[in-house]
Amino acid sequence: MLEDYFRQYGLLALFGLVAVAVPTSLLIASWLTSRLGLRPRNPTPVKLEPYECGVQTIGGSWNQFNFRYYLYAILFVIFDVEVIFLYPWATKFITLELFALIEMGVFVAILLAGWAYAWRKRDLEWSN
């Protein structure tokens, strides 16, 4: 029954609450141990500096990034959206006709052309 099926999502929501509650309760327990004096807590300015293997940090933490991260992100988005279309198709493919095979072949081929173009333009390399 459909209503029964959605009961499982109720259990899933319950699971989500517990899954968040367990690490949260550990963090609270840790805070309590520091309150009870079981855990030391005496921060000093040197201790609170960003850790850099003993060297003092010069400048902030905002550095320039390799722009290739951005290209990988775009490629990822394209392929992930493709996959969203592929999953329902794959689930039902065993009963589908030849048309579905050709249709999806064309769809994947277009994306593959883009991927090959990115490779050809050396966008998949880390450094030129």
Partner 1 sequence: MSCQLAADNVLYANGLYRLVYDLVGTILPCWLSYVIAGLVMIFVLVNAVLLGAAVITWAERRLLGRFQNRVGPNRWGPFGLFQPLADLLKLLTKEDLTPDGADKPVFALVPILMVAPLVMMTAVIPFAENTSLAALNVGVLYILAVSSITSIAIFMAGWSSNNRYAMFGAARSVAVLISYEVPVVLSLLGVVMVAASMSLGSIVEAQVLPFFLVQPLAFFVFMAGMSAELNRSPFDVAEAESEIIAGYHTEYSGVKFALIQAAEFGGVGVVSAIAATLFLGGWSGPWSEYLGWLWFLIKTGAIVFLFIWFRATYPRLRIDQIMAVSWKFLLPLSLVNLAAVTLEVFLLRGPEGVLTTGDLGIMAVINVVVTVVAIWVFGNLIRDRVKFQARQPSDVVVPGVTTIEVH
Encoded one letter per residue, x for contact with partner 1 by CB under 8 A and - for no contact, window 37-56 reads -xxxxxx-x-xxxxxxx---
Kindly determine how many residues on this chain lie close enough to bind partner 1 according to the rule CB under 8 A: 72
* DSSP assignment of 6-30: HHHHHHHHHHHHHHHHHHHHHHHHH
Smallest separation (angstroms) from partner 1 to the CB of 106: 13
Contact track, partner 1, 81-110, x by CB under 8 A: --x--xx--xxxxxx--x--x--x---x--
CA–CA distances in Å: residue 100 to residues 42, 86, 105, 106: 66, 11, 8, 10
- 29 binds partner 1 per the rule CB under 8 A: yes
